[in-house]
Structure 1
């Protein structure tokens, strides 16, 4: 089968199309013929070599989620799975493939009204948005700022905060056109990437959900209300400065807090329940997945070039 691997860390051109033996499902696994593969910001971070210290090596196959049809099952798995349309979490890699052998515990049936492309635009990112807001102890009546709202995590977070009764849902984004699209999804105020603009926007926020991190993250502590909480759910802009905590200590009397969130810390049953509920809501049209573009698997380099350009709104999807 065809797959895409990281031949050389760095630019998108370091990705290459390769041939691998077709997998067979092992015990407790199902085999999925992929119809859609999600391309995430985390894939780009890994491709750049930023996380090499965490064990990622050249030769790694990026991608963490696929959607498609189960074609075979391994020992101990109910054969009723065969023929079902499903979404699956492939782990911290292994998703840029035509066929994926995945533990059945990581597989969720898809409702009839949800496309495979929409499923991979929502599956992983929707859960991060949900549990990121929970990590921030977001409650109805509080104000929320989503930093980096044009990606799939941010898009879902905007909708969840609005549906959850936020008093205001502000977003940072790079253009008026993106701001208008985010307003249609529930944003009430649109700021530029620095957090400026929006003359009628709140001066401070109870919750900031940060997908970007990077060098500018400490400046957003200044936008927190007393007892405000900033939760970093991504680092597509790179790592923050080593001394970023000095901002919090300097504002000690405001009792602000900072936390990180990774879906890896959520019990599998809780992840499954949230993803199942979100897929059902999306199938009913109550939650919107945004697919920026669908490209063939062999154009993974182009997909990553578009990601690096900052021009993507939502998620790029690859199809085998």
Structure 2
């Protein structure tokens, strides 16, 4: 089967589509035939060797790329139950010890990393849900804000940010969305009460003009760090999506680091919301596996909207 791998860390040019031995599902695992797989910033830092350099991945000759997948169950491993061959599923590969990623024709995942795919939602869109949806939901869990509290979401037009806005509104939070000037109408349509434009002025000042005293919490999907922290009130809460960009807990602000983890129950709930039209999923350009390098180049383009998706 074909899989996207790197043998040497570096830029998009290091991505290779190689013929590799098909993976075999072990006990409690599923073999999934990939129909679509999202491409995310974490894939770029994996390719560049950042995760290996930080000690999060063991050195290996070949590193597989890809975190989330939408596809069809091909085979069940020993003792695996709860899914049927031919069933549409979505899943998250959060185990960095696995040799191959989800950017492959066949993917093996543990049962507790998989949920039914959203009914009626094309696989290209469904593939954008696991990593971004779980990250957004788990960040909101860490913030633990009560209904009626105010929340700043930076990078609100991105994959994590857009889902965070929608999930926050469903929790009864009042959202300040930050994005490009052209994003205001779409973000308000997702439920954002206020909007601040990127590059239109100092972020904390803009936010505090809308929410005097500062917001109760911030979900920093744009990795702005201390710039976003300035918009949070004293003793508020801050969810950092990147360890290297997590600010110090100044002014008594509780800073939580988000380390996404597979959660089949949460993923199933997200899938049900998407199936019912309660979550808007935004797929970006759709490219074949052979053009994985181009998908990674698209990740770096300013103003990118929607998650690039690879298909077999």
User: Deviation at 1:24?
Assistant: 2.6
User: Deviation at 1:114?
Assistant: 2.2
Task: Quote the Cα distance in structure 1 between the aligned partners of 2:21 and 2:238.
Answer: 45
Classify the secondary structure of the residue corresponding to 2:8: coil
Classify the secondary structure of the residue corresponding to 2:107: strand
82 and 41 in structure 1: CA distance in 2 versus 1, 3 angstrom threshold: same
1:177 is aligned to 2:169 = no
Task: Quote the Cα distance in structure 1 between the aligned partners of 2:253 and 2:93.
Answer: 36
Per-residue Cα deviation, 1:203-223 (whole angstroms, up to 9, x for no partner) = 41111001233xx51232221
Classify the secondary structure of the residue corresponding to 1:132: helix
5 Å matches for 1:1-320? 1-53=1-53, 54=55, 55=57, 57=59, 59-78=62-81, 81-91=84-94, 92=96, 94-167=101-174, 169-173=175-179, 175-187=180-192, 188-192=194-198, 195=203, 197=206, 201-203=210-212, 204-213=214-223, 216-234=224-242, 239-240=244-245, 244-245=247-248, 248=250, 251=251, 255-264=252-261, 271-320=263-312
Task: Quote the Cα distance in structure 2 between the aligned partners of 1:149 and 1:112.
Answer: 26
Task: Quote the Cα distance in structure 2 between the aligned partners of 1:107 and 1:149.
Answer: 26
Task: Quote the Cα distance in structure 2 between the aligned partners of 1:240 and 1:127.
Answer: 20
Per-residue Cα deviation, 1:187-213 (whole angstroms, up to 9, x for no partner) = 231331552657952241111001233
Task: Quote the Cα distance in structure 1 between the aligned partners of 2:289 and 2:82.
Answer: 29
C-alpha contact (below 8 Å) 2:225/2:240 kept by paired residues: no
Q: Which moved more, 1:282-291 or 1:45-54?
A: 45-54
Classify the secondary structure of the residue corresponding to 1:207: strand
Tell me, which stretches of 5 or more residues in structure 2 are unaligned? none
C-alpha contact (below 8 Å) 1:148/1:172 kept by paired residues: yes
Task: Quote the Cα distance in structure 2 between the aligned partners of 1:295 and 1:218.
Answer: 36
C-alpha contact (below 8 Å) 2:37/2:310 kept by paired residues: yes
Tell me, which stretches of 5 or more residues in structure 1 are unaligned? none
Q: Which moved more, 1:144-153 or 1:51-60?
A: 51-60
User: Deviation at 1:319?
Assistant: 0.3
Task: Quote the Cα distance in structure 2 between the aligned partners of 1:311 and 1:19.
Answer: 34
100 and 46 in structure 1: CA distance in 2 versus 1, 3 angstrom threshold: same
Number of aligned pairs?
Answer: 300
* Segments ≥4 residues shifted beyond 3 Å: 196-200
Classify the secondary structure of the residue corresponding to 2:128: helix
User: Deviation at 1:42?
Assistant: 1.0
TM-score, normalised by the number of residues in structure 2: 0.88
Classify the secondary structure of the residue corresponding to 1:141: coil
Task: Quote the Cα distance in structure 2 between the aligned partners of 1:87 and 1:95.
Answer: 11
Task: Quote the Cα distance in structure 1 between the aligned partners of 2:295 and 2:72.
Answer: 23
Classify the secondary structure of the residue corresponding to 1:121: coil
Task: Quote the Cα distance in structure 2 between the aligned partners of 1:56 and 1:300.
Answer: 23
C-alpha contact (below 8 Å) 1:5/1:62 kept by paired residues: yes
